[in-house]
Structure 1
């Protein structure tokens, strides 16, 4: 039995299902949650989406249909099945991790992170998929879900953003995008909402952050680093903060880009990107995870300490 068939088999008998995306969600996480909830409801299931954090996610993600119904919570109701989407490890479910861990036997994991070892009864992990939404597209075919305009919008949101606006990925991503476009979704509006929207405050933050870029030698690697402290990020949107890493992905004469974002004093979220280095291995060594070209982890300390720790790891 294929992994898709196994996933469909655990979904079919369930009547009440909780769909969980990762904390600090991006468009692939929210798009996956909303697409899955809508698809399950189409199948007659009682489904709801959850994120295991108390603070709101980025405003631009509310443009994804159903995002305003996603519940921010530290506990899940009694359900027949928990389905996690785009969660590369159990701890990425945030405050819901302990609850999900206790109910691993009734958990379906759907993901594409290369570092994901699986933490459910069924683990539908396709590591070479461009986005979790592309995996869902195939699963919905197995479940005979009708991909309507609402679901297509959600799936396209994840595909668009996890491929950097279709700048990397396989030929299959274009075929899938074309399938979704045939439902009548407005791809220009989706792109504007998720990639191009911003404010004057965002632009000022980005300018200040870029002025701080520094390049370090770490062993055989050249690493471009941006440090965005708590005070700097306080005036900007979450989407602008998350987008900083795209500026250091492929700078001349570097092979690795990193942004440290201080979400609270002394607490940093590191985003790693590279076109030539397997950054998932670096992130795993630092306690995080991700994909070969894109990964992340959390660190504690002052700015000098977290940068030094990363460079030491990269240089090994």
Structure 2
């Protein structure tokens, strides 16, 4: 494991004849956008490229139209090339069933922005100060001398706009990068509507049910407050994964709570927990204590058990 610069990663990829680009489980726009942008660039340079994500859940509808989708292969069709790149995965475990293909590669590269990532590749380009993995991929593409055309720019913009909450918590550099991508031909209005502002009508009923059961724990986090909501398996099974992901951004708006959590029952007694904080609470130690990780203000973890026990474990740790 070696901390690497964008230049070092570019050098490792420049002459690679074949590359497997691996995205994390339950793929979002940053991992898929980063993977496809890098894949399109390497394909243009003459490499054989495959981009894959674990088949745990289907690719969200709003990501299927991103440019470069021709490079996507299923978990079972993955060849596993000698060079493997992990994009936006905070740990090897986040690659799920694809972890074996990553570990079997002759040369491995990780590109990520999660502060909890200790590095698990031969070369690790990890920068927690970056707003998203997509901007790190852009830095590699610049080192490769690849033109950022509209297709690559669209994939990168998808990661940037979603991981910054539509630029609500973006750093200044992200606005400059966004301008560059728009200049390359990205249609921000159409892409943002597709990624952030489009839901099936049934989503409204799910949101009403879940938010109606939200609970405020004002004494949590030394009086900073916690608000949480639960999405049980029956409710979640009627919705696509990406629709449930939007709930945390609604729950976190509660003025009385610094920390927000959404418990999602992905299978009976199996949960994923999304955490968000506003300003003062660092979520990384909390998520790490429960076996997860992430960023200071956006983290998560998995748990098992009854809803009462899973909720109690988090509340008790705060």
Range class of TM-score, shorter chain:
over 0.9
**Residues 150-189 of structure 1 aligned to structure 2 (within 5 Å):** 150-189=151-190
CA shift at 1:267, angstroms?
Answer: 0.7
* One of 44, 58, 66 as aligned partner of 2:46: 44
Shift of 1:58: 1.5
Aligned counterpart in structure 1 of residue 90 of structure 2, from 88, 91, 95: 88
Q: Indicate the residue corresponding to 1:142 in structure 2.
A: 143
Residues 119-146 of structure 1, C-alpha deviations (whole Å, 9 max, x = no match): 0000000111011001111111101011
**What is the DSSP-based 3-state SS (H/G/I as helix, E as strand, rest coil) of the residue aligned with 2:248?**
helix
Equivalent pairs, count: 313
Q: Partners of 1:190 and 1:218 in 2: how far apart?
A: 38
Q: Distance in 2 between matches of 1:199 and 1:222?
A: 32
- Compute the displacement of 1:53 (Å): 2.2
1:298 is matched with which residue: 299, 302, 305? 302
Q: SS of 2:27's equivalent?
A: coil
Q: Structure 1: 5+ residue runs without aligned partners?
A: none
* Equivalent position of 1:239 in the other structure: 242
Which blocks of at least 5 consecutive residues in structure 2 are unaligned?
none
Matches within 5 A, 1:89-108: 89-103=91-105, 106-108=107-109
Equivalences for 1:1-316 in 2 at 5 Å?
A: 3-67=5-69, 69-73=71-75, 76-103=78-105, 106-216=107-217, 217-220=219-222, 221-276=224-279, 277-314=281-318
Q: Distance in 2 between matches of 1:227 and 1:146?
A: 45
2: CA distance, partners of 1:207 / 1:3: 46
Hey, which bits of structure 1, 4+ residues long, moved more than 6 A?
none
Q: CA deviation at 1:219?
A: 4.6
C-alpha separation in 2, matches of 1:52 and 1:154 = 19
SS in 1 for 2:118: coil
Q: Are residues 78 and 58 of structure 1, via their aligned partners in 2, closer, same or farther at CA, if it must alter by over 3 Å?
A: closer
* Cα displacement string for residues 176-226 of structure 1 (whole angstroms, at most 9, x for unaligned residues): 000000112211110110001111111111111111110123250411101
Distance 1:70 1:213 in 2: 38
TM-score, scaled to structure 1: 0.95
| Aligned counterparts of 1:78 and 1:211: Cα–Cα separation in 2 | 46
Q: Is the 8 A contact 2:111 2:124 kept in 1?
A: yes
Report which stretch shifted further, 43-52 or 1-10.
Answer: 1-10
- Alignment partners' CA distance in 2, 1:205 and 1:85: 31
CA RMSD of aligned residues (A): 1.6
Asked if the contact 2:85/2:102 (under 8 Å) is kept, the reply is no
Q: Do 1:63 and 1:193's aligned partners in 2 also have CA atoms closer than 8 Å?
A: no
Contact persistence 2:36–2:51 (CA under 8 A): yes
TM-score (norm 2): 0.94
How much has 1:2 moved relative to structure 2?
6.0
> Which SS does the other structure have where 2:225 is aligned?
strand
8 A contact 1:56–1:72 mirrored in 2: no
